[in-house]
Amino acid sequence: MPFAFPSMERFLFWFSGVAGPKARRAQEVLLPPISPTNSPDEPFRKREGTRASLFASIDQPMLQPLPAQPYITADWKTVRASIDYHVEVDRHFYSVPYQLAGQQMEARFTSHTVEIFEGGKRVASHMRSFAPYLHTTTKEHMPCQRAIRLISNGRRRG
Q: What percentage of the chain has pLDDT greater than the value 90?
A: 52
Domain-by-domain residue ranges, the chain?
1-32, 75-153
What mean pLDDT comes out for the span 18-36?
66
Q: What is the pLDDT of residue 76?
A: 97
Q: What is the pLDDT of residue 153?
A: 62
**pLDDT at residue 3 greater than cutoff 60:** no
How far is the C-alpha of 15 from the C-alpha of 87, rounded, in Å? 49
What mean pLDDT comes out for the span 57-71?
92
**pLDDT at residue 137 greater than cutoff 70:** yes
Beta-sheet pairing, 86-89 with 92-95: antiparallel
How far is the C-alpha of 129 from the C-alpha of 114, rounded, in Å? 9
How far is the C-alpha of 95 from the C-alpha of 85, rounded, in Å? 6
For residue 89, the cross-strand partners are: 92
pLDDT classification of 21: cutoffs 50, 70, 90: low
How far is the C-alpha of 148 from the C-alpha of 150, rounded, in Å? 6
pTM: 0.57
Q: What is the pLDDT of residue 51?
A: 87
Digit-coded pLDDT (tens) for 93-133: 999 999 999 999 999 999 999 999 999 999 999 999 999 99
Among 111, 75, 114, which Cα is nearest to 94's? 114
Residues 6+ apart with CB under 8 A from 141: 85, 95, 96, 97, 98, 124
How far is the C-alpha of 129 from the C-alpha of 92, rounded, in Å? 7
Residues 6+ apart with CB under 8 A from 106: 76, 77, 78, 79, 116, 117, 118
Evaluate whether 105 touches 118 at the Cβ level (below 8 Å): yes
What mean pLDDT comes out for the span 59-78?
93
Instruction: Output DSSP code: residue 27.
Output: H
Among the ranges 26-40, 43-57, 124-138, which has the highest mean pLDDT value?
124-138
pLDDT classification of 44: cutoffs 50, 70, 90: confident
